[in-house]
């Protein structure tokens, strides 16, 4: 378990979180 893998995993989680929030915002605007 290298720290690089943890960094990538955390960034992926953040990316998914932001994308999910953007989806909710888009749905609410329609």
Domain that holds residue 27: 1-30
Tens-place pLDDT, residues 1-30? 578 889 999 999 999 999 999 888 777 776
Cα 9 from chain centroid? Answer: 10
Q: Total structural domains in the chain? A: 1
The alpha helices in 1-30, defined as continuous H runs, are 3-29
What's the alpha-carbon Rg for the chain, to the nearest Å?
13
- pLDDT value of residue 1: 59
Measured CA to CA, the distance from residue 26 to residue 30 in angstroms comes to 7
- pLDDT value of residue 20: 92
């Amino acid at each position: 378990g290298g720290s690089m893998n943890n960094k990538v995993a955390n960034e992926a989680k953040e990316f998914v979180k932001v994308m999910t929030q953007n989806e909710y915002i888009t749905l609410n605007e329609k």
